[in-house]
A and B are shown apart, each in its own frame.
Chain A
């Protein structure tokens, strides 16, 4: 089955450490996105990429970095510069072929906790 996979599901990080969250899709989608969700809040866009080797900052990019070396993969690094990294991180991909659904597919998320 095609889908989008985020790993790990739970991640613990010590203060001052960088950590990388994985997002892989086998849907052949061109665009990929990273969102952050805080308790009781909506999703806020961190970074997005519409094509390989290109990405743009979202609304809350400070303290985060991404790469898009392959169409299937869009890893997110939470750096030590991110002052409040504890959150639920969601990855999404999108096709522009709107045969069904919204074209967006979400992963199941990674819950990052700073200890």
Chain B
């Protein structure tokens, strides 16, 4: 069945370091992936997305890598700042399928000053 999971529930980094958050997915038919950031008591905020016809996409300080061979997704945050502290979720969607966005359990990122 569809499921999206994360390798680590928590990640702690020093301010200025690069962060890498990983995600595994199981539905090989999924063709659209999104990373969200969620701060405590708030709704998820879009960070970056990637379609299955790409293996890398860059945004401002963030990069998403997609490895379809092993069904793995990662989010890289460059020069991590205290404001990056939050829970990060990956989500997958199958365009033209059930129209459901399936979320992983999340990784809590803590940035130490």
Contacts and interface: CB of A to CB of B under 8 A. Distances in A.
Interface of A: 31, 33, 35, 40-45, 48, 50, 58-59, 88, 90, 92, 101-102, 104, 106-109, 111
A44 B101 CA distance: 9
A108 B44 CA distance: 8
B7 to A, nearest CB: 14
A102 B43 contact: no
A111 B41 contact: yes
Given A45-B102, A90-B44, 13 more contacts: A31-B99, A40-B105, A40-B106, A42-B89, A43-B103, A44-B103, A50-B99, A58-B100, A59-B100, A101-B49, A106-B44, A106-B45, A109-B41
Interface residues of B, number: 19
A109 B40 CA distance: 11
Interface of B: 4, 9, 34, 41-46, 49, 89, 99-106
B99 A41 contact: no
Contact of B103 (A42, A101, A102): A42
Contacts of B9: 40
B46 A104 contact: yes
Nearest to A111: B41
Nearest to A88: B41
B111 to A, nearest CB: 19
A35 B41 CA distance: 14
